A and B are shown apart, each in its own frame.
Chain A
Amino acid sequence: MSHPPLAAEFTANRSRAHWHDKALWFVREKRDRMANSVPEWEQLREHASAIKMHTVSQLPLYLEQFERNALALGVHVHWAETAEDHNRIVLEILQRHSVKRIVKSKSMLTEECHLNPFLEKNGIEVVDTDLGERIVQLRNEPPSHIVLPAIHIRKEEVGECFHEHLGTEKGASDPAYLTEAARGHLRQKFCQADAGITGVNFAIAETGGIVVCTNEGNADLGVSLPKVHIACMGIEKLIPRVSDLAVFLRLLARSATGQPITTYSSHFHGPRPGCELHVVLVDDGRSGIIQSSEFRRSLSCIRCGACMNTCPVYRRSGGHSYESTVPGPIGSILAPLKDSEKHSSLPFACSLCGSCTDVCPVKIDLHHQLLAMRGLLGQRRLIATSKKLSMKFVAGIMKRTWLFNLLGKFARLSLRVLPRFAIYHRFNPWGRQRELPEAPAKSFRQMYADRKSTASNPGDKSK
C-alpha cells in the first residue's frame, strides 16, 4: 500500500490521531527546552555534522583503524555485505555457542535485517528487552518509532497485551504497574539468556570500542550476564575520536527525548574475562549511498527520532503508515534508497515544511533530500502517470502567457457560474473538507492594467 490511504485511515480516528500527535509534540517541546538550555547548541550541531561528513569522507581509513584497535582488544570483528550475511554471521556465532535464548536491546539495524524472524526460524528464542520493543514484539507488530517503539499504543492496549502474555490483572492499565510486570518478566529472560545482542550508537575508530545508550539499562543487563555479546552496527556508525563522543552524547538524548543524557551511556572495549564480544559491521547498501552526493548526508543520522517527533505528517499518520523500518522524514529517504518502487509514496508524504531539517542534531538537510528523492523517482518513472501528465500539462500552459491568461479566466468563470455539485464532488479532493477560493472577476494583471490606464487621471488616488 502507499502512504496516503494508510494515513487517511489513521486520521479517520480523529481523537486517536490527536492523542498521537500530542504525545509526540510533548517530546518535541521537551527537546526544545533541553536544546535551549545549552548556549552552544547550534555550534554542537555544526560540529556533529562536520564530524560525520569528515568520517564518511575517510571511512575506509576509520573502518580499518577501528578493526585494528578492536582486534587488539580481543573483539571478534565480522564484515557483512548484506542483511542476509549479517543474519548468517549472527546465527553462526550463536550456534557455535549452542545458544538457545537471546536477549536483545534496541537496534534499528537488526530490524532492518529482519534478524528476529530469521533467528526464530532457526530455533532461537529472541526476546526484545526494551519495554516498548517488548510490547510490540508481544503484539506481533513492528515498532512505529525508532526511539519510542510503542508510541502508537494506548496503555489500555498494553494492559490487554500484558494480561494475555504476562498474566497481569485484567483491565489494569497503570503504566507503573505494567512496567513493574515487564521488569519481573524480563529479569527472568535476562537471567536465562545465553547471549545478548545490542545495537551500537557510536563506534570509536581510535580505540576500537563501541558505545551503547539506553535509559532502561536493558542493553547493559543483557550483555553483562551471558558469555556472548554480539553488537551489530552499520558502517556509518563510526566516529574518529573519543572526544567526538562529547558532542554526540550532548546532542543525542536531548534531541531524542529531551533528557540531558541517557541514563546509561556504556562504553565497551573488549570482552569480559572469559567471554566473547563480537562486532558485526554491516554495509547493506550503505556504500552505495556514500557514492551519491545527493543522499550521502542521510548516513549522518544518529537515530535520535527528533525528525519524527517534529514531523506534522508523522505525528498525524503514525509510524506504521510508512511501512518501513525507519519511518518519518529520515525513513522516507532511506526506504526509497533501498527500494524506490516499494516506497515511492514516502517522499511525497511531506509538506516540505522543513521542520525536520531544523531539528536534526546532525543537520541533515532532510526536506531538501526528500525533494531530491522526488526528482530521482521522477527520473526512474516512479511517479504516478496522472501526476506526471498533469504537471506536463500545467507546465505546457505556463510556458504560454496567452494560454495561462485564457485558462485562468476560464477557471475563474467556471468557479463563479458552476453550481456547487459540479465543483464539489468525489473527484475533487481539495473540496472534500475545504472551499475553493472565491473567484474574482478580474485577474491581477487586468486590474493592474486598468489602474495604469487611469493613472493619468489626477482624481484617482489608488489605494
Chain B
Amino acid sequence: MATNVGPIYDPPSLAHPFGTDRLGDDILSRTMSAATLDVSITVAVVLLSVTVGTVWGSVAGFFGSWFDYLTMRILELLNAFPSLLLAMLVIAVAGPGLLNVVFVVALLPLPDYVRLARAEVRSKKNWQFAEAAKLVGRRPVGVLFAHLVPNSLRPLLTYASVNASQVAATVGALGFLGLGIQPGSAEWGSMISRGQDAILSGQWWVAGFPGLMIFLLAAAFHLISDAIADSRDQGGSW
C-alpha cells in the first residue's frame, strides 16, 4: 500500500489532491487502493449471486414439483428479514473477513435473482424452441441450460447492474459499521467511518472523498444498466 506520509489533516492541495488524514496518509492513494478492493468485492458478490440465483431459480422453474415448492418457501422466509439487518447479524456472529462479507452480501439479492430466473424459465419452457430442442436430442437439463437459460439472461443481467450499485453501497455501509473486511484495511466504508469525527472538526475531505467514490461506483453501475436497457430497446441480442 503506497502511503505517502505528509502533514496530518492537510486539506486538498496539489501535493495531496484529496488531502491527508490524521496519520498524515495521502487520502487519494488510500482511496485508490481501496477501489480495487471495493470494486472486486462488489463484482464478486454480484457474480456469485446472479450465478447461484440463475441456476437455482431456473431449475425450480423448469422442473417444478417439490423442489419448486421448497424454493418458494425459502424465498418467503428470506423475504421476512430486513436485508441489511440480516447481513449485520450474520457478520456479527460469523465475524468479519473478506469471504464472510462476500457470502453474506450475496445472500441479500439472491431471492430476487431466484425469482426472476424462475419466472423467465417458467414463461418460456413451453415455447416451441424448447420442444424443438428436445427433438434435436437434448435431455431436459440440456434444454434448460443450452436454450432456456441463455434466453432468460437479459432481464437477469439488467437487474444485476442495478443491483451492483446497491451492493457497492451495502459493502460501504458494512465497512462503515466496522463489519467489513477487517479493521484497518483500506476500504471506502471503513475510511468514512474513521473520518466521521473529522467532519465535525471541519476536515470534510477525510470521509468525503471515499463517500464520493461509493457514490460514483454506484452511479457507474447504474449507467451500465441503462446502457443494457437501451440496447434491449434497440433489439440488441441481449
Query: Does A associate with B in a complex?
Result: no
